[in-house]
Structure 1
Amino acid sequence: MIDLEFYPFEYNSPQTNMKIDEFFLTKSKGFVFRLYGWKPYGVSIGFSQQKEKVCNVSYCEKNKIDIVKRITGGGAVYHKNDITYMISFPLEFYNDKTVLGIYRKNAEILMKIFTSLELNCQFAGKVKRELRREGMKNGIACFLLPSDFEILVNGKKIVGNALRVEKNRVLQHGSIAFDFDYEETAIVLNTQKERLKKRVISLKELLPSLTIQDYQEKCIECLKQFGFPLNFKTNCLPFKD
């Protein structure tokens, strides 16, 4: 079992966060797990998306909300009071090297963390094509899109994920709904608050006293249970604001 480089939660700008994730996909060699937040708040969009089509650009400009493009696909995410995670590792690490297989294996790690918080979690399973198409009609915000093996709590989405495989390396990152602002997210991503409330649930709604530090400690505990020897990387990210 290789060591896992664990980068504890810290805030960076939207641009720096994406620069760091790209570094771990293209330059890193080991198994990396990172937790981070966004200051100032920002929107990340999938690499094939156009910001004018998925975001309220004028609102973002007026409120100094930066819009950045991810190196992964998926829908738009408003990063306000969320916990973003990133996992990156050599493709050879998992036996099933298909995109679906990688998603499923990573989802098992995330599921372990959520269940350790005593949440009622389920895997949604593989999404049928017609359901995915219907989801695209309902909006292109990440949390409104159905995805394979997404984790549901009380039937609602709690984390949105995106993945990229480049050469012999994998990167998956995602937004965990920690303290979700339904009203402003609806404005920023051109959707409706009621639609988000039907589809999304946040950790703070389920566990009001939970802190980011509490969640991080559960991450560490669960990664150790998977057998990873942890190598803590404090204050040594490749880029800083």
Structure 2
Amino acid sequence: MIFIENDGHTNPKLNLALEEYILRHFSADEDYLLFYINEPSIIIGRNQNTLEEINQTYIEDHNIHVVRRISGGGAVYHDFGNLNFSFITNHDGKSLSNFKKFTEPVIKVLKSLGLNAELKGRNDIEVDDKKISGTAQFSTGKRMVSHGTLLLDTDLSEVAKALTVKMSKIQSKGHKSVRSRVANISEFLKAPLTIQEFRQLVLEGLYEEREPFKTYQLTLEEWSAIHALKSEKYDTWEWNYGRSPKFNVQRSKRFSIGEIDLRIFVEKGYIMEFKIFGDFFGKEPVVHLEQLLTGLRYDHAEISNVLEDVNLNEYFGALQKEAFIELIYGEDE
């Protein structure tokens, strides 16, 4: 097995691009191991509805990355207290969905640190019935990636805040994440470890499991290609949000001018249909607004930009524009 150094990069978009690049372009004659530690971020499963999984206002206010990964499963929170591991190997038809095969060496390392770790369910590592690691897989051709998290000292309060959605009513065909009871590995250690100390111990333990072990430094050309993949895919709104499954949103609120009831059909992150109902009095027919908003990305900034020069008083009476935008794309109080 070859361990690939990521040179200490903590940008989740770059690290996921690195992982995919190794999967698709490195020799199929070798197995690879990758470690990375990410800045605060929400990592969304491939088949999930991003908007349903996250507290958009909170993540924007706290500069938390939102990135979709290529594997399925639920949304997870990463920060500097979380170590991510990734095995990139061939699959023989039996390895895919065989999480035990890839978690066993990790569990052995955890046990050597005094943790009563075990694989529970399909893809979680638990200690005393508390989840300290989740794993996921993706395959392409003959190659596959099996990756997971190791919660050493993650800010668990941020997990709840960043992954709690407050949209009033939403129905989705996406896979909603099931929140599990989670704990940090640090809670079970006899002596504290920094994330770098923990990383080194896990790496040494895996070295013992998979000899011979080599370490590889990426070339400048390879890094250039990885940065290009990041730019073309992982930096894009279309990948991180736009690939979300379609869903229906209903948002309503009573203002001094009456009730406004919005029915919005969003598909792949774009507003495909927008209908306005209510008991307000307005001069202009709201169909003009509906047509104006149809076809836009379901994105706060884009909606705000389009409505910038629109006089909403012509449609609703004395209604503040910010209040209407908040109704379309805001968070409930």
Do they superpose with TM above 0.5?
A: yes
User: 2:101 corresponds to which letter in structure 1?
Assistant: K
Aligned to 2:148: 174
Aligned to 1:212: 195
Divergent runs of 4+, >4 A: 234-237
- Contact 1:9–1:34 (8 Å) recurs in 2: no
Decide which structure has the larger Cα Rg and report it: 2
Matches within 5 A, 1:58-207: 58-80=57-79, 81-92=81-92, 97-101=94-98, 103-124=99-120, 127=121, 148-190=122-164, 199-207=181-189
The superposition leaves residues 36-90 of structure 1 with CA deviations (integer Å, 9 ceiling, x where unpaired) of 1113x21110011121100001111122111010000111111112111111012
- Contact 1:9–1:37 (8 Å) recurs in 2: no
- Contact 2:45–2:72 (8 Å) recurs in 1: yes
Deviation at 1:219, TM superposition (A): 2.3
Name the structure, 1 or 2, with higher relative contact order (CA <8 Å, separation 6+): 1
- Aligned to 1:165, the other structure's residue is in SS state strand
TM-score, normalised by the number of residues in structure 1? 0.77
- Contact 2:4–2:218 (8 Å) recurs in 1: no
Deviation at 1:157, TM superposition (A): 0.8
Aligned to 2:24: 26
- Contact 1:8–1:233 (8 Å) recurs in 2: no
RMSD of equivalent CA atoms = 2.4
User: 2:2 corresponds to which letter in structure 1?
Assistant: L
The superposition leaves residues 71-114 of structure 1 with CA deviations (integer Å, 9 ceiling, x where unpaired) of 0011111111211111101224xxx624233x110011111111
User: 2:41 corresponds to which letter in structure 1?
Assistant: G
> Distance between the aligned counterparts of 1:166 and 1:231, measured in 2?
24
TM-score, normalised by the number of residues in structure 2? 0.57
Q: Which moves more between the two structures, 7-16 or 171-180?
A: 7-16
Aligned to 2:214: 231
Deviation at 1:14, TM superposition (A): 1.7
- Aligned to 1:10, the other structure's residue is in SS state coil
Identity, % of aligned pairs?
27
User: 1:168 corresponds to which letter in structure 2?
Assistant: K
Aligned to 1:5: 3
- Contact 1:90–1:168 (8 Å) recurs in 2: yes
User: 2:59 corresponds to which letter in structure 1?
Assistant: C
Deviation at 1:235, TM superposition (A): 6.3
> Distance between the aligned counterparts of 1:44 and 1:199, measured in 2?
18
> Distance between the aligned counterparts of 1:234 and 1:12, measured in 2?
17
**CA separation of 1:227/1:61 partners in 2, compared to 1, >3 Å: closer, same or farther?**
closer
**CA separation of 1:9/1:172 partners in 2, compared to 1, >3 Å: closer, same or farther?**
farther
Aligned length: 208
The superposition leaves residues 178-237 of structure 1 with CA deviations (integer Å, 9 ceiling, x where unpaired) of 11212221010017xxx97x7111122222511223322322332233242121134657
- Contact 1:115–1:121 (8 Å) recurs in 2: yes
- Aligned to 2:8, the other structure's residue is in SS state strand
* Structure 1 unpaired stretches of 5+: 128-147
User: Are residues 1:221 and 2:219 paired?
Assistant: no
The superposition leaves residues 134-192 of structure 1 with CA deviations (integer Å, 9 ceiling, x where unpaired) of xxxxxxxxxxxxxx15221111111011101111001011121111212221010017x
Aligned to 2:264: none
